[in-house]
């Protein structure tokens, strides 16, 4: 690897939350509402989009492109069911494969000047790194924060508040996740940049 891997050290205008949970689970768990309340208390602007099907999620991506074109800087926080292959919209039993998300995020990240960060409150959210195409010159996001296994609701809530608390205390994303893993004694939480993932994949392919 000849290129230096960048640190994920970014400031945003707001956090955009995409909640793909079915209505019963949104009401029961209050994950996005608790996150919104926490961010509001800390003076952080946030917006939430409730998506009950695949079409609505894709429409949100189009809306985010418009915001990025207008010069807004934001990160995306998903609250959803997930698998190794993509997001799962439980309400309609629909999959959104990582490969289907790729082009949308390539465009959004390009409009944001390569600063998009994705936070995944979902089971197997770390697999969202597969949105990156190691054979392409495009980067769909700067970095991704995700869980490598099934994620319990209580742990997800702890991670959410602690993550943004770290950022508000001037930690960059990498530092925040490293400290969180230690404080929560949780080795399943990861942060990885598109650049690093692509470099690892390309190096691996050369040795195969």
pLDDT value at position 98? Answer: 98
185 occurs within a structural domain: yes
**Within a domain: residue 2?**
no
State yes or no: pLDDT of 6 exceeds 60. Answer: no
pLDDT above 60 for 18: yes
Is pLDDT larger for residue 167 or for residue 120? 120
User: What is the rounded distance in angstroms from the CA atom of residue 5 to the CA atom of residue 44?
Assistant: 28
| pLDDT over 60 at 168, yes or no | yes
Overall average pLDDT of the 54-76 stretch = 97
Task: Count the domains in the chain.
Answer: 1
pLDDT of residue 58: 98
Which residues lie below 8 Å from residue 198, measured CB to CB, with a gap of 6+?
132, 134, 139
pLDDT above 50 (res 4): no
Asked, for residue 76, whether it belongs to a domain, the answer is yes
Q: What is the pLDDT of residue 173?
A: 86
Q: Residue 104: give the domain boundaries.
A: 14-207
Ramachandran bin of 183, using left for φ above 0, alpha for ψ from -120 to 50, beta for the remaining angles = alpha
User: Strand, helix or coil at 86?
Assistant: strand
Does the pLDDT at position 207 exceed 80?
A: no
CA distances from residue 61 to 84, 116, 171, 200 in whole angstroms, order as listed: 21, 13, 28, 28
pLDDT at 11: 78
Q: What is the mean pLDDT of residues 122-150?
A: 95
Per-residue pLDDT reduced to its tens digit, 97-109: 999 999 999 999 9
Question: How many CB atoms within 10 Å of residue 99?
Answer: 12
pLDDT surpasses 50 at 185: yes
Is 31 a member of any domain? yes
pLDDT number for residue 203: 65
Whether 94 shows a pLDDT value over 50: the answer reads: yes
Tell me if 6 is assigned to some domain.
no
CATH classification of the domain holding 21 = 3.40.50.1460
Higher pLDDT, 4 or 194: 194
With 60 as the cut, is the pLDDT of residue 205 above it?
Answer: no
If you average pLDDT over every residue of the chain, what do you get?
92
45 inside domain: yes
* In a domain? residue 3: no
- pLDDT band, residue 172 (cuts 50/70/90): confident
Tell me, yes or no, whether 29 lies in a domain. yes
């Amino acid at each position: 690897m000849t290129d230096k891997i960048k640190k994920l050290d970014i400031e945003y205008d707001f956090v955009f939350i995409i909640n793909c949970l079915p209505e019963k689970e949104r009401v029961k768990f209050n994950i996005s509402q608790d996150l919104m309340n926490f961010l509001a208390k800390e003076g952080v602007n946030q917006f939430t989009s409730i998506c009950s099907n695949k079409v609505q999620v894709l429409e949100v991506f189009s809306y985010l492109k418009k915001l990025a074109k207008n010069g807004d800087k934001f990160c995306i926080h998903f609250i959803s069911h997930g698998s190794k292959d993509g997001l799962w919209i439980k309400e309609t039993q629909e999959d959104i494969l990582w490969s289907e998300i790729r082009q949308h995020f390539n465009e959004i990240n390009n409009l944001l000047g390569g600063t998009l960060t994705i936070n995944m409150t979902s089971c197997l959210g770390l697999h969202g790194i597969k949105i990156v195409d190691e054979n392409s010159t495009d980067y769909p996001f700067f970095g991704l924060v995700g869980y490598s296994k099934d994620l319990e609701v209580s742990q997800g809530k702890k991670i959410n508040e602690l993550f943004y608390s770290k950022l508000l205390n001037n930690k960059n994303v990498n530092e925040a996740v490293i400290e969180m893993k230690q404080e929560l004694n949780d080795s399943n939480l990861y942060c990885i940049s598109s650049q690093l993932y692509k470099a690892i994949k390309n190096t691996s392919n050369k040795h195969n």
